[in-house]
Every structure is written in C-alpha cells, then in structure tokens.
Chains A and B, each alone.
Chain A
Amino acid sequence: MTRLGERSYKPNLLVLTSYPLADPKHGGQIRGAQLVEHYSSLGWNAHNIAYVDYESPEQLGPNDKIFSDKKFHGLFEGIEVPYVNDLALSEYVGCDSVFLDFCSSLPMRIDIIHVEQPWLWALAERYRADVNGDCILVYGGQNIEAKLKIEVLSSLTDGHYSYLYDRVYTAIDALEKRAVGSADIVAGVSRSDIADMSAWNSRAQFVSAANGVRSFPVDARHLSLWQQKLAATPFLLYAASAHPPNFTGFNEIFGGSLACFPPNTRFVIVGSVCPHVEREASVGPYRTVNQSRLRLFQQVSDDDLAALKSLAVGFLLPVSYGGGTNLKTAEALYVGKPVIGTPAALRGFDDWVGFPSVSVGYNPSEIHKAIRQVFANPPVSEITEDKRDSLTWANCFTGLLQAVKGRMDGKSNGNLG
C-alpha cells in the first residue's frame, strides 16, 4: 500500500450525499455519480457513502446507510414537518454513535471528503477534527438551501407551517455558513451562488462546478420506436424529476393555459414530474385544452430520453423557482435546439440567453409567444461546438478538479519534504 508522500500514492476521496448513487436518476444523483467518476479519472480511489431516508425506494450502494431514527426522522424541533427530513438528517449525523459507525465503515484513511449539500457536513468536519487533521474538505453547494427550503414549504404546504419558516431558515442558513466557513474548497454551481457564499466570511477557495451534461448516443431502435409512438408530431420536451420547483407554479408560468401549442403539436413531459404536472394542468378553464396538448411518459430509459431529445423541436423548462443551476437546462442547451425557460430555469446560464435559440419568459404572455414562435419559425442555432462542449461534466468540473488536485499535490509535496 502506498502512503501519502510516496510518489505513486493514490489519494482516497469520499463523496458524501443524502441520496444513493447506485442508480442515478435525478439531478443530484447524476451530479454525485459524475463527481465520483471524475475524481476517479484523476487516478484516485473515489468512493461514495449516502445516508438515505428509510422510505426511499431507490437502489442502495454497498456502503450506503439508512436514516430511520425516529428521534430525528421527519421532525424539526420535535414537530412533524414535511419536506425537512434533510435538516433532520443533519441533526442525526451529529450524534456520536452515528459518527463512530461512519468511521468504522470507512475502508481506509480518507484524504479528501467532498460533501454535497450541507446536511452531512458535521461528519466531515468531525472526521478532520478527530481522525485526520490533514483531510481536505470540499463543500459542494448545489443551491442556497435555506431560501430554497422556504420556497418549497410555502409552495407545497399552503402556509400551514409558516410560523416555523424563520426557524427553519435560520437552522439551514447556519448549516450552510458552517460548511462554507470551515471548508478548504467551496464549489458553487453558478456565479450567483458563488457570490452569495463568498460573502459568508470564509477563507476557502471558491471554484465553479456547474451542472453539466452527459453525451448520450441515440439508439436507432429507440428512435424508430418514438417516431412511431409520437407519429411525427412536433413537440417540445421537458424531462424532470418530482422536485417541487419542477412543477409547482406550473399554472402561474403558463397562465393556466397550453393553448399556445398549435393543434398538431404536443408538450411531451418525461420523468417523475408527470403526475404532478397532470394534476396542475387539470384545473381551471383551460384544462381540456391542456390535456389535449400533453403527452406524459413517467418512466423512460436513458435511451428513450436520448431519442426524444433527438426528435424534439426544442425544450421547454417551466421551473418555477430555485437557485443553483438546472441539470435539465444544461442538457437542453447542449442539444443545440431552441430552449424556452423561466428565469429560474436559466439561472446560471446568463451567457446563453443572448443566443436567438434561447428564450427567457418572464410571464405567461412571453412564454406563450416564445412557444408559438418556435413552432412557426424555429430559430437557427448559432451555438458553436466549443460552447456546447463547455457544458459537459468534464468541462464543468475542470476548475474543481484542478483546485482539489492542487491542494492534494501541495500536501504530498509537503510530506515529501
């Protein structure tokens, strides 16, 4: 076994997440899996441990842990509150028993811990304090979580827990500032997020690590299958998970109406967001129009999605709120076809908005107009190959990998004396 300081030493890196990466489906999982993959591409031993809600139906990795402790699960300050289980997890991992269990499951000494989101930060911080003082800590901020949590609660609970909003915000804000304050490297997904976190009194090195895309080849068989299924109907595509910003506010974004879609076109939606969109679109005076324009496919494979992206006229991203950058936005931009999105969807892609094929709709009227335009007169894309390639995970993680490698190399050189 090579040791730190020896020239052939392979660093050990751990990525900590609150969702499993064994079968990545949603944006966070894809991002986490890409982090492990790209850290591994440096020749390092990169692993993942996830702390997963016991109610999650997802496939677990070999080192993943279940979060089910009733003293914490589903509770905030002892009160049952929905949508704050991640905050409850952050309390749980502060327990001694949890930390001891964590340490005992580590296969070796960890040189770098990369924590996605602040929920598991306590584990990394304590590992550096109690086990390995040289451990490099990287905080991966996907969002400004405190603000996002309040937006989720207010959009999904009808203000029922509004009396807790201040306390929830304070608790999460404190977690984020603690992570940013004690990290060696902070990775943000957008310039805006990095600017916000930089103001939190940290000596960390801030780097950009936007959400990227995977290039997925189109399989001819799947292409043919979807051509038949959709019968050459022109459509706009939206692929999304059931994360609340992906569907709450759907009616506000469209003014309740999908009548802007010509009769022979469709809005194709794939992913776990489907039942939520169907529910949102089925209310109000335009519900019959909406239902006539929607085609919903809840479960699709990567091959299906690649085929759909290839067949789509363009992409429509009705994301209602949220910071960070949107994985689906990056994927849509990468295809090079027209993209229509809300300001929230295109957050972090400001340098793309100037292209004719990229439209931001600030209100229903603008969204409607952009949709009509894209079907009547599709804009020609002026996006270059280089610009598209900047969206790949490899390019997006360049700065992060360089920063982490730089720190690691500095530690190694120091040990070499």
Chain B
Amino acid sequence: MAIWVDVTTSLSWERPPVGIVRTELECARHLTIKGVHGSREHLCYYDREAGVFRRLSDTQNRKIDNMLLGRYGHRSDRPLDQFLKVHSLPRKDTRRGPLKKLNRKLRYCLDGVEGGHLKGWGWQAGNFGFPVEVLIDIEGKVIARTTADKFREDLQSQKIGNGTCGFEIPLSDIFARLDDSCGGSANISLKPRFGKPVRVGELIYSPEAFDFIRSPAPEQGPMVRLANGDTYITAGLDWDSKDFGQIYSLKARHGFRVIGFCYDMIPFYLPHLCVGDVAAYFAKHFTELSWCADGVVCISQASKNDFLGFVKDSGCRLPELDVVRLGSSIQPRKSREHAISRNVVRVLQDRFILYVSTIERRKSHETLYRAYVTLLEAGITDLPRLVFVGMKGWGVDDFLRDIDLDPRSKKYISILTDVDDGELDLLYRNCLFTVFPSLYEGWGLPIAESLTYAKYCIASNRASIPEIAPRVLSGIDPWDINAWAREIYSLSHDPTKLASLEEDIRQSFRPDTWSQFGEDVLDFCSRVAQRIE
C-alpha cells in the first residue's frame, strides 16, 4: 500500500514557489522516498485530458529534484541568447591523405537554438544510409550525441541530400551533464560514418542559461493505476489542475484513498477580494473535493471552520478533517557566482521594513501606504523604506499607480518581484521588522517565516493570523490606519522595544518545521486509513 504524492502544480511552475507550491514540494520531500535510481518513488501527476494518473518522466523527475534542491525554472527578463550562443567555426576542408579526393566533403550548418533544442544539419554525399553523427563534448568527453537523420523540407528543397539530414539535440540533455556553477563552452562535432569527428562549432553558455534549460517542455510519463489501499495525496492548485469528479470515479473503481488540502475558502466566502465572480467555481471545487476525499488537511483552525461551514450549508459529504501547520523555513540556494539583483542590493543598503506577499486587494498593501501617508502628513519623514516583495495580483492597478505617482510616499516604497529564496533570506535577515495587514488568510506563511528569523511582525488580527503565534504577536485591524501608523512609527523609532519583542520571539516561538508537517500529514493519513478499515 503506497503513498502517492501528486506534483501536478510543481511540474508546471516556473517561478520561485509560492506557499501552495512549496507545500506540494514538501509533501513530495517528506512523504516519498528515493528509489534505487535516485528519483523519488510514488510521485505522480494528473493528466486531466486523459483522466488518468501518470508517473513522472525522467525530465519531470529531474525538475522536481531540482526544485527540491532550491533550483527553480527562472524566467529572467532577458532572453536566452544573452546566456547561450552557438558559434560556428570557419569552414575548411578537413579531408586528408591520398584518398582525399575520393572522400566526399562534409556539408553542415549550425542553425542555433530553437524551442529548447540545438538544431542544424550535416550531410556527406555518397554516404546514403549512414547519417552523420553529432557529438557534444567537453575536453574530448562526449556528453551528448545524436544522428543527423531528421527530414526537413527546407533541406530537400535546397537539394541537400534527400532532406533527411537535420538534427536536434535537447538542450536539457546537454545541460544535464554540465556543471551549473559556472559558465563555459562545449564543442560541437560532426562525425561521418567513415572518418574522424570534425569540430564545427561550440556552444558557449553562462550560468544563467541553466535556469532556462531547467524548464523543459512537458512530456508524458507512463500511466499508473493506483491500487486498492494506496493513499493519494494532492496539495497543489487543485481547482485549476484536477477534476475531482473524475478522480471520484477512479477512486470508486480502484479503491484508493484520497487526502486533499484546504488552504482557505476565501474565493467562496470573499469573492469580491478575488479575480472575478469565482464563488460558483470554487463551490464546485470544494463540493467535489468533499465527496472525493477521505481526509482533508486544513492549514489552520480558521480554514477548518470555514470548510465545516461550507459542508453544512452546501449539503455535501463531510470528510475527516485535521489541522496541520505548515513549515516556515526558507531554504537559501547554494551560493552562485552571479550577483544578487541590483534592486535587492539597493534595498539592503537602507533601513527597511518588509511585506512579503502577492500584491492584491486582499493583502491590503493599501493599509501600509495610507499609514505611511498619515505619518508623512504629520511631518514624520525619518521612516524606514517600505519594501513589498511579491508578484502583482488582481485589482491593484490603481493602487500601484498611486504609489508610483504620489510624491509623498514615492521615495519610501519599493516593490521587488521574482525574488529567489537566497535574496529573500537576505531581506529577512536585514529588515527592521515585517508587516502583514492582510484582510483574510488561510494561514499567513510569511508571518511564520518572519518569526523564524526572530523578526517581529506587525500583523492583522483577521482569520487564521492570530493562530500563528498568539503569545508573541498582537494583531491590529487592517482597516485601522492610525493604529498601523502608530505601531510602524513606534517600532521603527524605539530599538529597545523592538529588541525586547525580538527576544520574546526567541524565547517563545518555536518555528514549525516541514519535517513536522510531513509527520503530521502521515499521521493523519494513517488515522484516515484506520477509520476506513
């Protein structure tokens, strides 16, 4: 009886992971074990179109392994060709010896990189049936190879052989064998059937190229049938990727157990704080989840209460519920030669307070903006920089425009996006304190993260937030702007008070660990299994 962990969301994630993706990854880390081939056993994903579960392909396994090591597909603003170049060497006749004139000339072209592949063509007249071999090597050691035997219409029209002399090598295959800690170059050679390899070019790369290469095009893993008694755990963005109605039918047929997650019921209870009218969409999701799941992990008592309320009102089935706290550790990546981004460097040079969150209406960044304006209008100008770390979300265009244009606050507020774990680690370590004025949360992971760094957090008093550290934090109504202004001023001007609060944190707060999270989820799975038996 196996425990299967679904990683559908992680497989399609290209950025540093937000809380839900992190949770899915931590389920993969703590609830599965590595097999003899090094990849984690019993990882799967859900192919919604086919309505089946699939094991991961080798490429997908590598992606998850990388993500677990803190390496994420990272879409830089700069295109790939800034980090990866294909250089063709000058052509020369490489034929030698008395039979030189008998040897046919090797013709080739390196087209460059396209669609995640190194492309080109190579052909030697008179060698029909024996295509040219393409070799990629580092100092003579071959790291990737293929044969130039792909048909291309353009080659046929140019009468280059019969057109069947193109080649493509996936960059992921090449880069899998390279050291990602530094840049370098790899030789590109063509080897005719009878002859020695001819070096025709080189692939020159810098370390940033690895970020692009690690986001491979999706490919399908083999179908897998979950067995009677298996447990299937799904913790991702399931309302986007799963059809629980379909999974319900699969479960009825094969008898496996389902453990789902409820992060929050915000789209159902507070749709006005979400994108569009989403209540009906999420009502369907939670209904099907309730019917399908034998157990649902809720990440806070507040979420559990909301879920219970939903089940009561909607009339759907009530699965077993449990509250499991998320871990709050950030894993900095291993150091790299490339610099921390310029924007982060600039922030680190100032006194600053930090708000880590997607910038959207529910997170109430406007509370902080208004608090700052309140202080500024009162003549208080020695304020720390207010740093927002997060992606832009919904419903904040006007707000962001205000921040950008308001001359009073413009120089005090910075927005950082695409901050990786290493940079986030630095920001937490160097901030004065953090803030979190959210209107509603399922948990509030950045607050826990802040406390892990023994950094005080001025936090909202709504929903699940008071559950995070009730002995350490006192909450403020996010709509009480004056209270926020007073508290921000107080903590940024009273180092003694701040130090005392930080000492309280060190004494009282015990960070939740992801390993404890894993144990708690496993324990819940066992209890659910026993109840069913």
Which residues on A are within 8 Å of B, measured CB to CB? 254-255, 257-260, 262-264, 284-289, 292, 364-365, 367-369, 371-372
Which residues on B are within 8 Å of A, measured CB to CB? 244-245, 248-249, 252, 268, 271, 279-281, 283-284, 287-288, 290-292, 312-317
Task: Using known A-B contacts A262-B291, A263-B244, A289-B287, determine if residue A257 contacts B313 with beta carbons closer than 8 Å.
Answer: yes
Whether A263 lies near B280 (C-beta < 8 A) is no
Whether B284 lies near A289 (C-beta < 8 A) is yes
Whole-angstrom distance between the alpha carbons of A137 and B215 in the complex?
A: 87
Residue of B nearest to A285 (CB): B279
Whether B249 lies near A264 (C-beta < 8 A) is yes
Nearest CB of chain A from residue B243's CB, rounded to whole Å: 10
Whole-angstrom distance between the alpha carbons of A93 and B314 in the complex?
A: 50
Whether A372 lies near B252 (C-beta < 8 A) is no
Task: Using known A-B contacts A259-B287, A263-B245, determine if residue A285 contacts B312 with beta carbons closer than 8 Å.
Answer: no
Whether A259 lies near B281 (C-beta < 8 A) is no
Whether A263 lies near B291 (C-beta < 8 A) is yes
Within 8 Å by CB of B315, from A254, A264, A284, A292, lies A254
Residue of B nearest to A286 (CB): B283
Residue of A nearest to B280 (CB): A288
Whether B292 lies near A365 (C-beta < 8 A) is no
Within 8 Å by CB of A257, from B244, B292, B315, lies B315
Within 8 Å by CB of A288, from B271, B284, B316, lies B284
Q: What B residues does A371 contact at CB under 8 A?
A: 315
Whole-angstrom distance between the alpha carbons of A148 and B280 in the complex?
A: 34
Q: What A residues does B283 contact at CB under 8 A?
A: 257, 259, 285-286, 288-289
Whether B287 lies near A264 (C-beta < 8 A) is no
Nearest CB of chain A from residue B488's CB, rounded to whole Å: 37
Nearest CB of chain B from residue A372's CB, rounded to whole Å: 6
Nearest CB of chain B from residue A343's CB, rounded to whole Å: 18
Whether B317 lies near A262 (C-beta < 8 A) is yes
Residue of B nearest to A372 (CB): B317
Whether B315 lies near A263 (C-beta < 8 A) is no
Whole-angstrom distance between the alpha carbons of A158 and B92 in the complex?
A: 91
Whether A364 lies near B284 (C-beta < 8 A) is no
> What would 15 more interface pairs be, CB under 8 Å, given A257-B315, A264-B245?
A254-B315, A255-B315, A257-B313, A259-B314, A259-B315, A262-B317, A263-B244, A263-B245, A263-B248, A264-B249, A286-B280, A286-B287, A288-B283, A292-B245, A372-B315
Q: What B residues does A263 contact at CB under 8 A?
A: 244-245, 248-249, 288, 291-292
Whole-angstrom distance between the alpha carbons of A319 and B450 in the complex?
A: 56
Task: Using known A-B contacts A255-B315, A257-B314, determine if residue A292 contacts B284 with beta carbons closer than 8 Å.
Answer: yes
Give the 9 A-B residue pairs with the shortest CB-CB distance, closest first: A368-B315, A260-B315, A259-B314, A259-B316, A285-B279, A259-B287, A288-B280, A263-B245, A288-B284
Q: What B residues does A372 contact at CB under 8 A?
A: 315, 317
Nearest CB of chain A from residue B255's CB, rounded to whole Å: 15
Nearest CB of chain B from residue A371's CB, rounded to whole Å: 7
Whether A287 lies near B313 (C-beta < 8 A) is no
> Can you show 12 pairs from A to B with CB atoms below 8 A apart?
A254-B315, A257-B283, A257-B314, A260-B315, A262-B248, A263-B248, A264-B245, A285-B271, A286-B280, A288-B280, A367-B315, A372-B315
Whether A286 lies near B314 (C-beta < 8 A) is yes
Residue of A nearest to B247 (CB): A263
The residue among B248, B271, B291, B292 with the most chain A CB atoms within 10 A of its own CB is B291
Q: What B residues does A285 contact at CB under 8 A?
A: 268, 271, 279-280, 283
Whether A364 lies near B249 (C-beta < 8 A) is no
Whole-angstrom distance between the alpha carbons of A324 and B281 in the complex?
A: 40
